[in-house]
Every structure is written in structure tokens, then in C-alpha cells.
A and B are shown apart, each in its own frame.
Chain A
Amino acid sequence: MGEVSFYINDLYTSAPVGTTLLEAVRSMDIEIPTLCHHPDLKSEGQCRLCLVEIGDWPQTRLVNSCTYPVEKGLKVQTHSENVLQARRLVLELLLARAPKAEIIQKLAAEHGISQSRFTSEDPEELCILCGLCVRTCRDIVGVSAIGMINRTPAKMVSTPFKEPSEVCIGCGSCAFVCPTGVITYTEKNGIRSIWGRDFELVACETCGSYIAPRASLEYWAKQTGDPVERYYICRNCR
């Protein structure tokens, strides 16, 4: 793989072919905010916070840096007026959507926004529809128990037909990856409840502390080909 040379904020730099602009920019210790990006997932460009301005003035345009690959001679501006203006408005829209989401409040404040000028439909909303949970469930866990349903007016993350999903293994990865904490689960009396289903938690055969739902352990055993008993001992006791 060869290297490509390009400009970031007028600095001549280079990166291996296939590097995204976001990776290249961050490797230079320039901070670009992101919400829907995760290093272990394929980016899909939902949140539009990582926008950068590319091209020669006046023929410039904004692109999301999380999927845009480095190009020879490309000129990239990470904090131009156009970028900041768009980023601020995106944050303002997100703040109106999910006023309670701490990460949005924090990012907005960092960009000089204390209050959104826009109407909030639901002051309790936390979900920003970044899709990290859906992609994690699909691409990392591999079960696709949740997905996006509906279009703009009623778009939301849900199990199929809003009913308890048969393929969900209760692993909680969706809750773990969620940047705003909208996905939650409860654990009580050895039962984990998530997405409308109850999962029996397996206790470690050695120390007795709960490891994970039985459905998760069985799924991982099946995925790896290991005997499921191996998973009945927690990581600390192995």
C-alpha cells in the first residue's frame, strides 16, 4: 500500500492509501467531534459532525471525514467558517431533538451553543439516531436484533415489529455503545431485562458473580466452536 500526500489546514502531510480523512486529521492531533463514528465499526456518515471542507476555493464542498478517503493533493480544512457554521447548526438541531443528552449538551457548549433556537418535540428524548447500536448488533454481535424503523417523522431504533426479538442474546452491546445512554437494561434476581425480554444470567461456577445472559454465552460458544461450559467461568476466575 502506497502513501498519499495531501493538505490538512494548509499543512502538507501524507497517509496510507485508504485512510479516511478523519483518521488522518486525528493522527495530527486535530480534534473533530463525532457521534456516529466508532473505530471498530464501518462509518456511514449519519451525524454530520465530522464534516470538513475539501477542494480549492471557491469550488469547495463539505464532506463527512469519517468515510472520505485521502486523495492525492486534496486540500482539507477542518475548522473553516463553513465547517463551523454547519457543525454548529447540526448541534443545534441535535440539541432540539435530544435536549437531555449530556454528550450533546457538552458538544453544543463547546461550540458556543447554550440553547437551541429550535422547537423540541420531546424534552425527554435522548436518542440521536446515530445508529451505533444497530451497527454494533449487526456487524459486531452479528444477530441484527434491532434495526431502524420508519422514516424521518417516526424513525426509531426498534426490534422487528416492536416485539421481543427472538434473535436478541441480551448481550447489552447496544447499551454499551450508545453515546447518549438511551438504551438501558435492568438486572434483578439473576434476570437481565432488555428490549422487552428477560434473560437468565449465568453465575460463575467458581466465584458466583453473574457473567452474562445464558443466551449470550450459548451464542458465543456456537460462534467460536468452544464447549459452552468454558464460558461458565468468569474471566477473572479462568
Chain B
Amino acid sequence: MPFIESVDHLTEYRRRVRAARDPQQLQVLVCGGPGCLPLGSEELAAAFAAEMEARGIAGKVLLKTTGCHGLCSHGVRVLIRPQEISYQKVTVEDVPEIVETTLLSGGVVERLVYHHPESQAPCPHKMDIPFYQTQNPLVLRKLDVIDPESLDDYLALGGYRTLRKILFQMTPEQVIEAVEKSGLRGRGGGGFPTGRKWRLCREAQAQPKFVICNGDEGDPGAFMDRAVMEGDPHAVIEGMIVGGYAIGAMRGYIYVRHEYPLAVKRLQKAIDQAREFGLLGTNILRSNFSFDIQISQGAGAFVCGEETALIASIEGKIGEPNPRPPYPVQAGLFGLPTVINNVETWANVPEIINMGPEWFAAMGTDKSKGTKIFSLVGAVNNTGLVEVPMGTSLRQIIFGMGGGIAHNREFKAVQTGGPSGGCIPPQYLDLPVDYDSLQQVGSIMGSGGMIVMDNHDCMVDVARYFISFLMEESCGKCTPCREGLKQLITILNEITTGKGEAHHVDLMEDICQTMATASLCGLGQSAANPVRSTLKYFREEYERHIRDKKCPAKVCRQLLIYTIDPNECTSCLACVRECPVGAISGPKKEPQVIDQDICVKCGLCVDACQFDAVKVE
């Protein structure tokens, strides 16, 4: 790899990389994203390599393992270019057929393509699939085509063009102005205007200054930042260089959780490549600007995603938040002015500068511009990563891209923004999703988690699950969050086990109110959202648990009563054999009976009965 000495050299190198590539060349792009990797992306890629070698086309077809293709529920995904044929649920056994039919004969293996859920029509091409049709990928657009470990791939698609533009055509002031004009807001949850944050930091007097990339994604079920760091690491790095130039920083940190080893590896490789190339380091491209980045690994504490806790963690202290002011832009890392932005925010920056702020601001809503990646998981048919313009409705995301609720069940709620988000009920399905609208209905954008729930989910149990997660992850520094979460989980445990009392609802409301207003950091302030929103929209369900000791969704086991319908019992004794506590008995060749005093409500009898004689109330 050459050391790029000047702008012209970069242009010349890019031209050479591009000239060496044939856009019509056959490419097999195997998804190596967080969802597909554990399903066997590597084995699949190896099988393709072996089969292509055996069929004598190894030199003609380009094989790559890429970042996330998005539609994770249908992995491992394979994209064949230039035809853009998108295969799903591909296994090693399918490889010979794909090579024969598609690579050698130009046909389509129909059994491996997505079929439209309504018309059942095959959707062989990526853009035939409804999941992709309505998306507008900006940050994710390169993920399924580039090899994340290849700087050439990034350069060929115009990478580091923005670096060249800012260093030689723009002043730091102009860069900040452009980001301000674009309307970009922090994608990590808070939604603070990025340009304003940069300006405040630039105006701060102290030196040196720092930029930090927050890659401490810790929401259960969320993996958009992971996908970006693993799939397009250079975009994050380029964004950070732009930020460093704008605020006058010479050093950047990427804070990644230790549980993301592949992200760490890819980012480190990208940093090494950029350094070797001269895109990071002293006097980048012979300009006066010097900038370098290092990775700081966190131990995976959820609270370290909070910016002041993250700073403490990089400094080697306990990852606990600190009260603001001072804000990080005034006194952040090592007490010096610091800009912290989330992975997705940084990855948005190069294109904003490159295409211009007007282009970016044309997407989205009045106060939320651009696109947002959502990690769509839970009770939908299509789970995965979607990137849509701000203002897209929940209905479009869940029923359009998500393909509706799985198993033909009924939509009940969607929780946005990670564990400390609120549960949004069906009446808000047409809500245009942006920072402000989500807040109005008692939830948050967060970093973009979206967990869909159906009528088999108990909202009290859902609240209990998230509060228990948050209690484990709360740092425990301030009283309302620490003691409030402990009290909430005690009460929720009582309600879900039939010990709920009428005054519990008031108690929880009081705790939630104080946690929201009096906690030290944003995590504590939002931690009561799961309870608040479910109390607001699903109060009836709480009342059923407390008053009638019933769980309408039949989730809270302690509230269920298992009985055997004597009319349907065939006395086969399958349940008797399965029952671990010997609660089922009865005379031979007669219907069996469950002793409620002994029953531990494990549900094994239901599974054991082949005649649906065990009833659950």
C-alpha cells in the first residue's frame, strides 16, 4: 500500500483502483453481519471459494464477505452482482446449485429467493423485496458491497473524498456551518444538534481538544452501531477526522465495548490502513492538519454509553456519570473540551459534507433531518436493520419493511429506544418517527432499537424485564435511579406473581416521576419509561394482574391455573409422567386431576398432552 503524499496522489490512486475494477464482473457477496456470521458466513464463503475453484471460475468471480445486508431473519444472505440477485437462508449445501445456475448459467435459484408474503411471487432481485424497496440507506448503503477490511473498496466508492474537500476547500468554520445547516442531530439518543455541539467545542478556550466516537452500544436487541463499525469502519474514521478538523482536535478515541471483538479488529485494521496510507497522522495529505485515532475498549457496562461515564471510563476511572455542567464540550476527557458523537452520527458526516447540507436536510421532518437506522426485532416477520428517512411511520416500518406480525398474531406494542424507551400502543402506529414525536408519546429515539410485541406478550412482564435489565446496569451512583429501580423491580415481581396490591400503581407512579426529574444522568431519567408508558397505555393489564390475579397474555406463570378437561383427557398419563412434582394423579383409566397446591406451574403437562386436554387460565 503506498503512502499518499498529496491530494493529487490520492486522486491518482483512486483512479487506478477504479480502473482495475470491472463493473460487470460477477461478484458473490456473502453477508458477514452480526446476524449471519453465527449462522455460518465464513463456512459459506469458503464453500463458494472451493466450488468456484472446482468449476474453474475462481479467477473470474469476485468473492467477498461483507458487512450486514439488513434482512437478518433470512440469513445467511448472499448478493450476486451485477444482477443484484439476493439469496436468503443460504447454506453450504446450496452453493453448487448457485454456482451452476447463477454464476455459470445466469439463472435464478428460485427456492432461495424471497417470496412476497401476499402474492407469493418470487422476488429475485434485491429491489424486488419490499423490505429493501422503501428504505433509504445512507449510512448502510455500502455495507453489502464493500469488504470492510479493504481500504481500496472504500476508496473506490468515493471514500476519503470528504477529507480532501475539507482540508483544501473548507475552513473549520465552514465545516461546522455545513453540519449545522444539515440539521444533523446526535444519533445516540439525546438528539442534540451535532453542529451546535461542534461549535461550542470549537469556541471552548482550553487546548488540546478531543473527539470521541461512542461505540458502547448496549441495548438488548440493538446492533446498528456494531453493523456500521464492522461493515464500514472507514466511514466512522473519516467522519471523526472531519470532526477533529472542525473543532481543532488532534486526537480521537473510539470507545468500543469489549464484547464487540470483530468491531475492534476491523476498526483497528482500518486505523492502521489509514495511518499507513497517510490519511491519519501528521500533516495529513501535506496539509497543516494532524490527527490520529486510538481505540479504547470498555468492559461492556451499559451506563458507559452515557457520555460523562464514557469519559470516566476512558480516563481509567469507574464508569459513572457526572453531573453537568460542565458539559463535555467545555470540560470533557481529561478535563478538556471534547465532542462525543455516536457511531451513526460520525458515519453520517462524510456524506453530509460531500453532498452538501441541503441534500441531507431535504430528508426527514421539520426538526429531525436525514435518515435513521433502526434495529427492528421482536414479533415481526422480517427482523434486521432498516434505514429510513426521519418521519417514516411506525406502521411503514413494522408492517411494510417488517412484513407485519409473525404467526398472524396481533400487534400490541413497539418499544423504541432501547431498554429505557417506552412501549407505544397501536393507536400511534401512524406516528411519524422522529425525536420529538417519540418523546411526546412517552418514548425516546434512543439509538434506534425497535422491539415489536404481539398479543402473546404481557406488558407487565415486559416492564419487569426491562426494569430488571436496567437495575442490573444502573451504576448506583444517585439515589432515585438506584433505589427507585430496586423498588420498582420488587413491586413488579409482586404484581407478576399474584402479590400485587391496589396501592402499588400509585407507588410506582411516584417513583417514576421522581426518577425522571431527579436522577443524575439521562439513563436514570429515562429508566422509568418502560413502567410509565405501560402504566399509561396498558393500565387495564396491570389492574387485571393486581385485582383479578390474572395475566391476560398468559405469560406470568404464577398467575396461571392449569386444569385437565375431563371430557378431553384420554388417561394416557403422559402428563403424569412429565410432571416434575407429582401434582397430577387420578384413578386408572379415568381423567386425571392436577392438585393446585402442589402444581408449580411449569407448563410441562401442556407440552406433554397430545389431546389439548390441559387448559390454562
B323 engages A64 (CB within 8 Å): yes
Do B483 and A46 touch (CB < 8 A)? no
Chain B nearest Cβ from A138, distance in angstroms = 10
Is A67's CB within 8 Å of the partner chain B? yes
20 further interface pairs, Cβ-Cβ under 8 Å (given A151-B476, A153-B472): A44-B322, A46-B477, A48-B479, A48-B518, A48-B520, A68-B323, A82-B517, A89-B480, A90-B518, A93-B483, A94-B479, A97-B483, A117-B507, A118-B507, A119-B490, A121-B486, A151-B301, A151-B303, A151-B473, A151-B474
Return chain A residues, CB-CB under 8 Å to B503: 117
Whether A44 lies near B476 (C-beta < 8 A) is: no
Distance of A212 Cα from B323 Cα, bound (Å) = 37
- Report if B514 contacts A (CB, 8 A): yes
Instruction: Please state if A48 and B478 are interface contacts (CB–CB under 8 Å).
Output: yes
Interface of chain B, main secondary structure = helix
Q: Which residue of A lies closest to B489 (CB)?
A: A153
Complex Cα spacing A86 to B481, Å? 12
Judge whether B514 and A153 touch: CB under 8 Å: no
Q: Give Cα A17 to B486, complex, Å.
A: 39
Q: Is B6's beta carbon under 8 Å from chain A?
A: no
Q: Is A45 an interface residue (CB 8 A)?
A: yes
Interface flag for A169 (CB, 8 Å)? no
User: Is A152 interfacial (CB 8 A cutoff)?
Assistant: yes
Interface size on A, as a range, is: 35 or more
* A residues with CB within 8 A of B: 44-48, 51, 61-64, 67-69, 82, 85-86, 89-90, 93-94, 96-97, 117-119, 121, 128-129, 131, 147-148, 150-153, 155
CB distance from A219 to the nearest CB of B (A): 23
Chain A residues whose C-beta falls within 8 Å of the C-beta of B303 in the assembled complex: 151
- Contact indicator B486/A48 (Cβ below 8 Å): no
Distance of A215 from chain B, by nearest CB (Å): 26
Q: Is the CB of B518 within 8 A of A44?
A: no
B487 at the interface (CB under 8 A from A): yes
Q: Which residue of the partner chain A has the closest CB to B472? A: A153
Given contacts A44-B322, A86-B514, contact A94 B483 (CB under 8 A): yes
Would you list 8 pairs from A and B whose C-beta atoms are within 8 A, ordered by A residue? A62-B517, A86-B480, A89-B511, A89-B513, A96-B483, A121-B486, A152-B474, A152-B482
Residues of A within 8 A of B510 (CB): 89
* Alpha-carbon distance between A44 and B519 when the two chains are bound, in angstroms: 13
Q: Report if B475 contacts A (CB, 8 A).
A: yes
Inter-chain CA distance A68–B320, complex, in Å, is 18
Check B380 for interface membership: any CB of A closer than 8 A. no
CB of A152 within 8 A of CB of B479, answer no
Q: How far is the CB of B485 from chain A (nearest CB, A)?
A: 6
Given A94-B483, A119-B490, CB of A150 within 8 Å of CB of B476: yes
Q: Is the CB of A85 within 8 A of B514?
A: yes
**Provided the pairs A64-B323, A90-B514 are in contact, do residues A96 and B474 lie with their beta carbons within 8 angstroms?**
no
The 0/1 profile, CB within 8 Å of A marked 1, for residues 292-319 of chain B is 0000000001010000000000000010
Within 8 A of A (CB), among B457-477: 471-477
Task: Tell me if B325 counts as interface (CB < 8 A to partner A).
Answer: yes
B484 at the interface (CB under 8 A from A): yes
Chain B residue at smallest Cβ distance from A128? B479
Residues of B within 8 A of A44 (CB): 322-323, 477
- In the A-B complex, the 10 residue pairs with the closest CB atoms: A93-B483, A155-B476, A152-B476, A45-B323, A152-B474, A89-B514, A86-B518, A67-B323, A118-B487, A152-B482
Q: How close is B507's CB to chain A, nearest CB, in angstroms?
A: 6
CB distance from A237 to the nearest CB of B (A): 42
B130-172 interface code vs A (CB 8 A; 1 in, 0 out): 0000000000000000000000000000000000000000000
Whether the pair B486, A69 counts as a contact (CB closer than 8 A) is no
A47→B476 CA distance, assembly (Å):
11
Contacts of A93 in B (CB 8 A): 479-480, 483-484, 487, 511, 514
**Contact yes or no, B513 A47, CB < 8 A:** no
Contact among B318, B325, B486, B517 with A152 in the assembled complex (CB-CB below 8 Å): B486
Return chain A residues, CB-CB under 8 Å to B478: 45-48
Contacts of A117 in B (CB 8 A): 503, 507
CA distance in complex: A82, B516 (Å): 12
Nearest chain A CB to B466's CB is how many angstroms away? 14
* B322 neighbours in A (Cβ, 8 Å): 44-45
Q: Which residues of A contact B487 (CB under 8 A)?
A: 93, 96, 118-119
Nearest chain B CB to A91's CB is how many angstroms away? 9
Residue from B320, B471, B485, B519 within 8 A of A48 (CB atoms): B519
